[in-house]
Structure 1
């Protein structure tokens, strides 16, 4: 009998929990998950999931751990390590956190937001296939282990190491076939970066602006003429910079082809959307400001692109985070 592929998901928050649930329903894989702040709840009672796409359910992971090391001792080695940690390079190195689970045959799959997230993994694991994946999904952990998901889930991914061989492409396809069998739309692209920048149109604008606004939903921001203008001008910088960096146009997911269509899309969403940076700020947790703002600013300097709105947003969100405990 063919052995099932072993998948370790590191990070059991909203993204990790939702995709672990879908993947665990496939007969082709065995899923383990590493949780941190919600470990006790997930270990005892699992996840309670309210999904507009998949319905309501309880997901009780068979293999849930407090650390990567514990997971490796019990269930390793792993064919895939999916990184669903927040990308906080100013706080920790995500590549270091998964190191114990990465063997010679392990494929590393990044489910992280932001720009420039791949480089620490390339440096630490130069001989492992590295997949950069972009998730287009609205999911929030409202309470520990309590997930609310919208009506859509899509993954776009591609091998970041362009020198990898055909068997790595086959291995990625096997993983995504398992996701697709459980209702997750999947696309494998030769160049994933335009999709990463596509998602960044919303991430790089609504996230920091919502923090500065002090708690507004995305819909509330676009309903205010001044804030809408700020968002669209910030988005215009992302469009311009992303096209210079990638040398390509964006793919237009959700019909977002310019700043106006992006704010129109936000306005069309029927339920209030609160950004992840806003939630982190309200809980006085570190925000993903470096991968969302600092890294793109560094690329702008490299390519000679003017990004005054990004610079202002980075300065203000940095001050807000540094002022948590004053």
Structure 2
């Protein structure tokens, strides 16, 4: 099986490293000038050197069996176009993207793919929906896994498939817990339900999750109720209470969200995938979401002011 991981950040490095350690010989496609001979993978108390085939150009490489996109949501259009020659008619496309993806509804979400570039580059029949539940950081050539729960994989239209089962087996063989879902849209929305509030608040306040929960709990709960109403309208109902979901986050302690890490590093933030897309869905279905609108506006203004939009 030929596998390319597009994106050499934390998640991409973790996935590629795990696949390599299991003998699957993945190729890691990175941005120009970022080639290396491998990376260091730190998990628990162990640290291992991982040799990888790292490239910054797809010249001379043909269609792959599996292409995994592990990039920021706003970078997916460029990454998909750069990797176009890797995608043949039988390639399975696995976008490990934070937030709500472009294919989530019909018509596709303009907030995430305003020019249709992602949709043109990544044929939907070849896409497998993915949710990553893991906290991973990259510092130089070291990938540090802080918490790795599981990867959820499923067909965008729901149901079972052989290709999802094969992907789950691939990841399980590589030491990554993988779960096949018959309703991956619900899994995506459930993760977004928590992230669409915590991530922007962390970017605005520069605070860790524990402090945000302590100081902003009523706002968090109000936003989660608005997101719950959107979920009902799009067929992704959530039965868990907001308080129960916050309790899960509290158990993680004083962690920095991915959006906070991006702000601190001066990198663009994923505001459209995390807030723009839910608000587009709310508008389509006539669901009022005043708190989410205000959170989006403040986060967008902050990002524009800091050059992170």
Q: Work out whether the TM-score is over 0.5.
A: yes
Q: TM-score interval w.r.t. the shorter chain?
A: 0.7 to 0.9
Give the aligned partner of residue 233 of structure 2.
244
How many Å separate the matches in 2 of 1:10 and 1:325? Answer: 25
Cα gap change, 1:304 to 1:38, in 2 (>3 Å): farther
Q: Secondary structure at the match of 2:102?
A: coil
Q: Secondary structure at the match of 1:285?
A: coil
How many Å separate the matches in 2 of 1:59 and 1:178? Answer: 21
Aligned partner (choices 164, 169, 178) of residue 177 of structure 1: 169
**1:83 pairs with 2:78:** no
> 1:66 Cα shift?
1.5
How many Å separate the matches in 2 of 1:303 and 1:132? Answer: 23
Q: Deviations over 1:8-50 (max 9, x none)?
A: 00011111111112222334x331111238824xx14x32233
Aligned partner (choices 267, 273, 286) of residue 304 of structure 1: 286
Instruction: Check the 8 A contact 1:38/1:145 in 2, yes or no.
Output: no
Aligned residues: 296
Q: Secondary structure at the match of 1:60?
A: strand
Gaps of 5+ in 2: 109-115
**1:39 pairs with 2:38:** no
Which structure 2 residues correspond to residues 159-198 of structure 1 after superposition, within 5 A? Answer: 159-160=155-156, 169-198=161-190
Q: Deviations over 1:112-153 (max 9, x none)?
A: 011133345444344752101001111122x22222223433
How many Å separate the matches in 2 of 1:228 and 1:249? Answer: 22
Give the aligned partner of residue 51 of structure 1.
43
Q: Normalising by structure 1, what TM-score?
A: 0.83
**1:266 pairs with 2:249:** yes
Give the aligned partner of residue 4 of structure 2.
8
How many Å separate the matches in 1 of 2:64 and 2:22? Answer: 17
Which structure 2 residues correspond to residues 1-326 of structure 1 after superposition, within 5 A? Answer: 5-27=1-23, 29-36=24-31, 39-40=34-35, 43-44=36-37, 46-52=38-44, 55-67=45-57, 69-70=58-59, 73-74=60-61, 76-88=62-74, 92-118=77-103, 119=108, 120=116, 121-126=118-123, 128-141=125-138, 143-160=139-156, 169-213=161-205, 215-224=206-215, 227-245=216-234, 247-250=235-238, 257-270=240-253, 272-325=254-307
